[in-house]
A and B are shown apart, each in its own frame.
Chain A
Amino acid sequence: MAMRQTPLTCSGHTRPVVDLAFSGITPYGYFLISACKDGKPMLRQGDTGDWIGTFLGHKGAVWGATLNKEATKAATAAADFTAKVWDAVTGDEVLTLAHKHIVKSVNFTEDSTCLLTGGNDKVLRIYDLGKPEAEPLEIAGHTSAIKKALWCNNDQQILSAADDRTVRLWDKNTKEAVKTLAFDASVSSMEYIPDGEILVITYGRTIAFYNANSLDLIKAVDAPASIHSASLHPEKDFFVAGGDDFKLYKYDYTTKEEMESYKGHFGPIHCVRFSPDGELYASGSEDGTLRLWQTAVGKTYGLWKCVLPEELSSENSEVLYCPPAEIKA
């Protein structure tokens, strides 16, 4: 029998959710951090969406948020010209890194010793978290505000996307741009998959996949509407994308065909990410909510439960919450 997707809505934010990131898989499960324009990034349990805590301290909209692999540290980038590092276990603020303009992106290295920041001041900065008072390493070159900055190639190189419609690959040691990609439209999002060295870039209505070392195009897919963010499944079977038409699209990565589309959000989707185990993906929207969607619809996982038809009418049904009928796109 066909099953209809039931997204799990995580409420709590009062303004648009602009960024989200998953941690790696830890002995306590995996976690999700959401950046919101209300200035209060939240940490949630990744598989259920349960709220764990809110990081309080920023005085402006939080534009970027990230977790380290073990989910022990969190970093956020905000419009109050600071990037902050937090203890993700206690929720305490550990470090405040002052910048000269709005900070848009933060990224930890694999060993969580260095933090990369990028923002409207067009400069990439690398902070050594062991020596926070020391001056950061600066890499300049972009001619416009930096939207996203990521470590790649074993933390030896840096990928940055900016409003100057370019994506640049930098070498950390020489601080020089190794390669540059130019686009017709502003790049809306970037995701790096270390296993396979794939870079997912969205611009306009296109979702493009590049080799992260050579910046060669692997494939590109066009969507029905302007896309703000896309994410590739860890097993590279499919990818999901969301944008201006409030819908989430699911595509087959090999055939580039659109498999499904889901309605649910009440505003443009700003960010989409797959969980580290690939069982679900989270989307953050202008409507202030995060929604968790199943990759395999109907599977028992997290809060979703596979129910056989006989069980629905039995006395056990009051334990299960039957969601109200939602419109399928």
Chain B
Amino acid sequence: MESSKEQHLFETETCLIILNVAFDQYNASLLNYFFSFLPRLMTFILEIKRSSGLRFRRVLNETPVSVLRLPRGPEPNSRGFDPTSPRFIALCPTTLPSSSSSSSSSGSADEEEQRLRAELRERFLRTLLLMTGKRVRFDMHEHVRVHARFGASDIDVLNLQVCDLETPLGVQREALLRSQDVIACSFEV
């Protein structure tokens, strides 16, 4: 809409210039002839404009500041905090004890904690593996209890992919459950 307005302005300006010249150089009786000539004159001007590639420039000649790229957005499947970033490596305390750690007592307590963590994590992952394809009961917030066939979870266990989710609205062939909404899940081994 902006460009057609500009175009219109340009055309009007050009016509006004021509009309002024016409009035100065000829007497009033010739103006009648000139006005009948106007539509053909307009078309002629437009043809010249189009063929010569004239572009109507904005009165305010401003250039937008260039940017190298747009800011990166969030990754869809992860919560971020890249562990390979320099800041993470520099500031994050390592949970695994180094061989030359301070005191032996704190070192062994850390080792024990790490061992237990690893064991629990492994049990959790094995449970997820065992759950695939099985009919699972999900207990969720607001006393919601649904049954579905478990498919998989994503890498951060943010979402759970399920099939044949039984809801009060009917059976959903494919669905995605938010892990933060799930309180517990149980299934027959």
| Chain A residues proximal to chain B, CB less than 8 Å | 1-6, 8-12, 28, 42-44, 48-57, 59, 72, 89-91, 292, 294, 297-298, 303-307, 309, 312, 319-323, 325-326, 328
Given contacts A12-B73, A90-B88, contact A52 B81 (CB under 8 A): yes
| Set A4, A9, A297: member contacting B71, Cβ < 8 A | A9
Contact in complex: B71, A1 (CB < 8 Å) = no
Give the dominant DSSP class at B's interface.
Answer: loop
Identify which of B67, B82, B92, B158 contacts A56 (C-beta below 8 A): B158
Cβ contact within 8 Å between A303 and B81: no
Whole-angstrom distance between the alpha carbons of A8 and B65 in the complex?
11
Task: Using A51-B72, A91-B81 as known contacts, say yes or no to A8 and B64 having CB atoms under 8 A apart.
Answer: no
CB-based contact A303/B67 at 8 Å: yes
Q: How far is the CA of A233 from the CA of B86 in the complex (A)?
A: 30
Nearest 7 A/B pairs, CB to CB: A53-B80, A49-B71, A91-B81, A53-B81, A4-B62, A6-B65, A12-B74
> Using a CB-CB cutoff of 8 Å, which residues 22-61 of chain B contact chain A?
60-61
Q: Are A325 and B73 in contact (CB under 8 A)?
A: no
- Which of A3, A28, A51, A320 is close to B68, meaning CB atoms less than 8 Å apart? A320
How far does the Cβ of B142 sit from chain A's closest Cβ, in whole Å?
12
Given contacts A48-B72, A303-B71, A304-B67, 17 further A-B contacts (CB under 8 A): A4-B63, A4-B65, A6-B64, A51-B71, A52-B82, A53-B82, A55-B79, A89-B91, A303-B67, A303-B70, A304-B66, A305-B67, A320-B67, A320-B68, A322-B66, A325-B64, A328-B60
B87 near A51: Cβ-Cβ < 8 Å: no
Cα distance A200–B86 in the bound complex, in angstroms: 36
Question: Is there an interface contact between B66 and A6, defined as CB atoms closer than 8 Å?
Answer: yes
A312 to B64, CA, bound (A): 11
Interchain CA distance A57-B178 in the complex, whole Å: 12
Report the minimal beta-carbon distance from B21 to chain A, rounded to whole angstroms.
34
Contacts A/B (CB < 8 Å), 7 sampled: A2-B61, A8-B70, A43-B80, A50-B72, A51-B75, A53-B80, A304-B67
A44 near B68 with CB under 8 A, answer no
Q: Do residues B79 and A8 form an inter-chain contact, with CB atoms below 8 A? A: no
| Chain B residues positioned under 8 Å from A51 (CB to CB) | 71-75, 80
Q: Are B81 and A11 in contact (CB under 8 A)?
A: no
B180 an interface residue at 8 Å Cβ cutoff? yes
Q: Answer yes or no: B126 CB below 8 A from chain A CBs.
A: no
The residue that A321 contacts in the complex, of B60, B69, B75, with Cβ under 8 A, is: B69
